[in-house]
Amino acid sequence: MLSAELIAVGTEILLGQIDNTHARYLSDELAKLGVSVYLHTTVGDNIDRLTSIIKQAMLRSRIIILTGGLGPTGDDVTRDAVSDVCKLPLQFSANAYENHVLPYFCQIGKQPSDTNRRQALRVGDAEFLPNPRGTAPGQYLRHDGHHFFLLPGPPLEMRPMFEESVRSRLEILAGSAVIHSRVLHLYGIGESDVETMLQDLYQTQTNPTIAPLATEGEMVLRLTARAAVREEAKALITPLEKELMKRLGSYVYGFDDVSLVQVVFRELLGRSKRVSFAESCTGGLLSSMLVDLPGSSKVFEGAIVSYSDTVKKYALGVSDTLLERHGAVSEEVAKAMAEGVRSALHTDYGVSITGIAGPGGATEDKPVGLVYVAVDGESGVKVMRRVFPGNRTQIRIRSAKLALHLLLQELTR
Amino acid sequence: MLSAELIAVGTEILLGQIDNTHARYLSDELAKLGVSVYLHTTVGDNIDRLTSIIKQAMLRSRIIILTGGLGPTGDDVTRDAVSDVCKLPLQFSANAYENHVLPYFCQIGKQPSDTNRRQALRVGDAEFLPNPRGTAPGQYLRHDGHHFFLLPGPPLEMRPMFEESVRSRLEILAGSAVIHSRVLHLYGIGESDVETMLQDLYQTQTNPTIAPLATEGEMVLRLTARAAVREEAKALITPLEKELMKRLGSYVYGFDDVSLVQVVFRELLGRSKRVSFAESCTGGLLSSMLVDLPGSSKVFEGAIVSYSDTVKKYALGVSDTLLERHGAVSEEVAKAMAEGVRSALHTDYGVSITGIAGPGGATEDKPVGLVYVAVDGESGVKVMRRVFPGNRTQIRIRSAKLALHLLLQELTR
């Protein structure tokens, strides 16, 4: 199997100032291509250390992807290090300077400095990889059985370059074997319960494999098959997916690249229904999740963030009696909030959230993490209660997802 | 200078399923202690590869911090690898089993399985590091001039263990030299302008150093000094900080571990003022940022997320005439929204945001990224206009920060 290593270059990563976000992105892309990632390394802007790391990587892996260190200054040593290791001189390419460095400066209306000429230094006979989003073109070098990709550090430059110029080259290198993945998204069941229900499959499945992953309040199962052609890989997955749906189907809300809020958005859109939210402890988080999707105005009317009781009363019409008798965090108030926002904003559905996100605010019978969500629609009002673990941010995220889950149930019942 | 390496163990990181979030956290902590981080490596759950990586690390660094691979299963190979490399046998510690493994199971009301006994296997005479949050105790081993820290993979277990059991040991190892940092937070100026204004200082400063870092719509300058004692390091920073404040003070909104929303929260709290928001394109994001802070109920009344024009009219009282004549994304409507929410929710300040987050919605004279924010308070209503670059999410984050900035100006003028 083809193996690869990732080397991130940048002292700012070793100082803890920024995350190396490339590692996950590139590993995920390589996994999809069936390329096995052997190691991730992060090294500072230091040519001796980088040279030594590249030499070690060449002993282990055929593909070496370097990110960062392609800028114009003397700190940017990736080109020099690859040139040293491969004993291939750096040569100024007038062609690359004109076609890859100058156009960006032209676009942003600035003059390049002399140092920018460094960015057109080619390692041996490397191919330049276009970077219309910045000053640093990438480079692709074949040398002595190895394949080097030199990519820029900023994610907004590196990721498009990977998609436009790297992936297709790796597909050719990865050759005949293809990898196909199918992802199942689950809500309402925990990792250990899934493990118990699938124990026999975990132990016997090798192609396809099953990989579980727990995220905030959700679960993902990734089925991955390897075969000579895509259709064959897909056919390997089909029976396993059917078996999983038989066992866990009631928890599965979507497939592949979706999120809970996207599924809810599509269901609303498909039914031409509009929704409004009344948020207390989540404080606008649920609305913000929906508005982050382009086109959300087609289904979303607006929200009342009723953080104080006064707003619950005057903007949502929750009665004093209810608030005094049951408290703001109660089944009764959750229902009244959902009904109130649906009626105030004239939508098909009204969704509410009220809870105690902590760290303060708990009482003897109402712990931190207690949350009620309610959905009011044509068939009346439904409510759910949960006590979530975690810190304030986690409780707020889980509460917003619970509300989406209840809305999805009402939409698809 | 004392040098360290970080080794993250976990095939799931190499598959791109999760980020290695330890790298940044630990690097930042080590930088504060004056320990230089030489390299980050991520390796899979494979004893041969891990053994070889540890051997290489020992050639370079005195301190080696391993995260992950301390679980109970055969996949968890960190203990075995360190034992192999150091040629120190693994020995079952009945004491560690009783004091570090059993109590957690007792706490969660479950029975340990036989495999959990592996977690009490000690490398040579390593000290166990308590982990009250999980089943995997950490280990600290001194061997042959090296210091090994074996820490659990889950961040919610690793970080508290670092704080409780690792930092103090590293402080002793780091010895006399201390590092002191001062962080300046800037809003309203870009990285290249800062660089131009500080060019002379960037070139001459070595102790303290100046490190700029651009984040979404903001800038951070970190000044770092090294000295024998903390007071001396602080004294080195003072004159440089004064000089920076002279040049850039009007852009500086806070120091050290603060965010823009925290500064706004404190200013509201200190003045006993309450605020309400009217959000259009940000869709609840601004509210959610404030509500994420514990205690926000002391200053935050609530918000109207007026995503549709109907809500702008009925919940905020924006007139048909204004909407028709100027459009929803206009100075006039931004002002009316701020006034409307302040009056509807009876707060000291009303803050509004209206804009085009894209990708759709642009017109000939209103591009994607056009945003108006307004603040209505005792001294009337103020409005600001910007055209932000970036995608939908970036434009929404930048818009929320611009609104916070305008509110801060009004609060502190």
Can you spell out the DSSP letters for B42-103? EE-S-HHHHHHHHHHHHHH-SEEEEES--SSSTT--HHHHHHHHHT--EEE-HHHIIIIIHH
Examine the pLDDT at B324 and tell me if it is beyond 90.
yes
- State whether the Cα torsion B382-B214-B20-A198 is positive or negative: positive
B221, B202 in Cβ contact below 8 A? no
The two three-digit tokens of residue A293, written as one number = 């999707």
Whether the predicted pLDDT of A152 surpasses 90: yes
- CA–CA separation, A268 and A246 (whole Å): 26
Q: Diameter of chain B by CA atoms? A: 82
As a whole number of angstroms, the distance between CA B64 and CA B124 comes to: 16
How does strand A300-305 pair with strand B300-305?
antiparallel
- Of the candidates B197, B221, B224, B220, the residue with the CA atom closest to the CA atom of residue B209: B224
Q: Which residue of B has its CA nearest to A296?
A: B307
pLDDT tens for B22-34 read: 999 999 999 888 8
* Beta-strand pair A252-255/A349-355: unpaired
In the Cβ-directed half-sphere of A123, how many Cα atoms lie within 13 Å?
A: 25
Alpha carbons B355 and B281: distance in angstroms, whole number = 5
Q: How far apart are CA A79 and CA A150, in angstroms?
A: 8
Report the distance separating Cα A140 and Cα A154, nearest Å: 18
pLDDT one-digit tens code per residue, B172-197:
888 756 778 899 999 988 777 888 88
> Which of A336, A229, A198, A241 lies closest to A280 in space, CA to CA?
A336
- Restricting to B residues 96-155, those with a Cβ less than 8 Å away from any Cβ of A are none
SS3 content of chain A, % helix, strand, coil (to 5): 45, 25, 30
* CB atoms B288 and A294 under 8 Å: no
Topology annotation, domain A260-412: Maf protein (3.90.950)
CA distance A255 to A266: 13
Torsion of Cα atoms, A342 then A345 then A346 then A352, to 10°: -10
Distance CA B25, CA B29 (A): 6
**Cα–Cα dist B38/B40, whole Å:** 7
**With 80 as the cut, is the pLDDT of residue B345 above it?**
yes
Question: What mean pLDDT do residues A137-149 have?
Answer: 96
CA–CA distance from B146 to each of A266, A304, B149, B410 (Å)?
56, 58, 10, 55
Q: Does B396 touch chain A (CB under 8 A)?
A: yes
For the cut 80, the answer to whether the pLDDT of residue B215 exceeds it is no
| CA B412 to the chain's CA centroid | 26
Whole-angstrom distance, CA of residue A376 vs CA of residue A380: 6
pLDDT at A253 over 90: yes
Structure tokens at B336: 């009316």
Q: Do B37 and A15 touch (CB under 8 A)?
A: yes
Tell me, what's the pLDDT at B272? 97
Question: In chain B, where does the domain assigned CATH 3.90.950.20 lie?
Answer: 260-412
Judged by a CB distance cut-off of 8 A, whether residue B20 touches chain A is yes
> Which of A42, A49, A393 minimises the CB distance to B40?
A42
Residues of B in contact with A346 (CB under 8 A): 310
Q: What is the pLDDT of residue B391?
A: 85
Three-state DSSP state, B354: strand
A393 shares contact with chain B (CB less than 8 Å): yes
Structure tokens at B58: 């020992």
Tell me the pLDDT band of A115, cut-offs 50, 70 and 90. Answer: confident
Q: Running DSSP on this structure, what letter comes out for residue A138? A: E
DSSP assigned state of B111: P
| Host H or E run for residue A200 | helix A191-204
* Pair of tokens at residue B211: 């490190």
**Cα separation, A397 vs B394, whole angstroms:** 20
**What amino acid occupies position A79?**
R
Question: Which of A156, A116, A164 is CA-nearest to residue A140?
Answer: A164
CA distance B260 to B412: 13
How far from chain centre, in Å, is Cα A335? Answer: 33
Check whether A107 has a pLDDT greater than 80: no
B189 CB-near residues (< 8 Å, 6+ apart): B219, B248, B251
B344 CB near a chain A CB, below 8 Å? Answer: yes
What's the angle, vertex CA B388, arms to CA A291 and CA A278, rounded to 5? 20
User: What's the average model confidence in pLDDT over A112-133?
Assistant: 91
* Residue indicated by tokens 């040049």: B247
Interface subset of B 279-338, CB within 8 angstroms of A = 279, 281-288, 290-292, 294-297, 300-308, 310-311, 315
Interface membership of B167 toward A (CB under 8 Å): no
> Which candidate from A211, A277, A307 shows the least CB-CB separation from B297?
A307
- Find the mean pLDDT for residues B111-127: 90
Peptide bond connecting B208 to the previous residue in cis, omega within 30 degrees of 0: yes
C-beta of residue B293 within 8 angstroms of C-beta of residue B268: no
- For β-strands A63-67 and A146-151, DSSP reports them as parallel
**DSSP states of A90-131:** EEE-HHHIIIIIHHHHHHHT-PPPGGGGGGGEEETTPEEE--
Q: Tally Cβ neighbours within 10 Å of residue A104.
A: 20
* Residue matched to tokens 């870092």: B213
* Among A113, A118, A116, A112, residue whose Cα is nearest residue A80: A118
The complex scores an ipTM of 0.79
Interface of A with B in 216-275 (CB under 8 A): 222
Give the one of B23, B40, B288 whose C-beta lies nearest to A285's C-beta: B288
Report how far residue A258's alpha carbon sits from residue B365's, in angstroms, rounded to the nearest whole number. 34
Look at residue B203 and tell me whether its pLDDT is greater than 80: no
CB distance A401 to A287 below 8 Å: no
**Which residue's structure tokens are 């988080």?**
A285
**Interface residue of B305, B309, B347, B404 to substitute, partner A, most A CBs within 10 Å:** B305
**Over residues B116-136, mean pLDDT:** 91
Q: Which residue of B has its CA nearest to A37?
A: B14
Residue A326 has pLDDT above 90, yes or no: yes
In this structure, what token pair is assigned to residue B77? Answer: 């190979």
Residue A192 has pLDDT above 90, yes or no: no
- CATH 3.30.70.2860 residue ranges of chain B are 178-255
Buried b (16+ CB within 10 A) or exposed e, A294-308: eebbebbbbbbbbbb
In this structure, what token pair is assigned to residue A59?
């002993």
Calpha distance A202→A212 (Å, rounded): 10
Half-sphere exposure of A235 (CA within 13 A, CB side): 6
Nearest one of B48, B398, B30 to B40, comparing CA atoms: B30
pLDDT at B410 exceeding the cut of 90: yes
Contact assignment for A345 to B56 by CB distance below 8 Å: no
By CA distance, what is A10's nearest residue in B?
B39
User: What pLDDT is attached to residue A176?
Assistant: 58
What are A279-308's pLDDT values in tens digits? 999 999 999 999 999 999 999 999 999 999
Give the per-residue pLDDT at B176.
58
CATH number (3.30.360.10, 3.10.20.340, 3.40.630.30, 3.30.70.2860) of B178-255 reads 3.30.70.2860
Decide if B41 and A37 are in contact by the 8 Å CB cutoff: no
Residue A77 backbone dihedrals phi, psi, to 5 degrees: -115, 5
Mean pLDDT score of chain A, rounded to an integer? 92
Query: For the CA atoms of chain B, what is the radius of gyration?
Result: 27
CATH 3.40.980.10 location in chain A? 3-174
Q: Taking the CB of residue A243, how many other CB atoms lie within 10 A of it?
A: 13
A/B interface, count of CB pairs below 8 Å: 243
Kindly report, residue by residue over B52-80, the tens digit of the pLDDT: 999 999 999 999 999 999 988 878 899 99
Check if the beta carbon of residue B34 is closer than 8 Å to that of residue B27. no
Spatial distance between the Cα atoms of A350 and A395, rounded to a whole number of angstroms = 21
* Interface contact A215, partner B, CB < 8 A: no
Using the predicted structure, report yes or no on whether residue B295 has a pLDDT greater than 90: yes
Q: Is the CB of A15 less than 8 angstroms away from the CB of B26?
A: no
Q: Tell me, what's the pLDDT at B370? A: 96
**Residue the block writes with tokens 């004159």:** B239
Of A15, A49, A291, the CB nearest to B27: A15
Residues of chain A neighbouring B306 (CB-CB closer than 8 A): 302
Distance of CA B279 to the CA centre of its chain: 25
> In this structure, are residues B381 and B196 in contact, taking their beta carbons and an 8 Å threshold?
no
Average pLDDT over residues A345-353: 98
Does A303 contact B300 at a Cβ distance shorter than 8 Å? no
Residue A354: per-residue pLDDT:
98
Helices and strands in chain A, H and E counts: 16, 17
Q: Would you say A8 and A20 are in contact if contact means Cβ atoms under 8 Å apart?
A: yes
Better-scored residue on pLDDT, B200 or A264? A264
Q: A21 touching B, CB under 8 A? A: yes
Q: Cα A16 to chain center, whole Å?
A: 21
Return the CATH architecture of domain B3-174: 3-Layer(aba) Sandwich (3.40)
CA-to-CA distance for A125 and B392, rounded, in angstroms? 40
Strand order in the sheet with A218-227: A209-215, A218-227, A178-187, A252-255
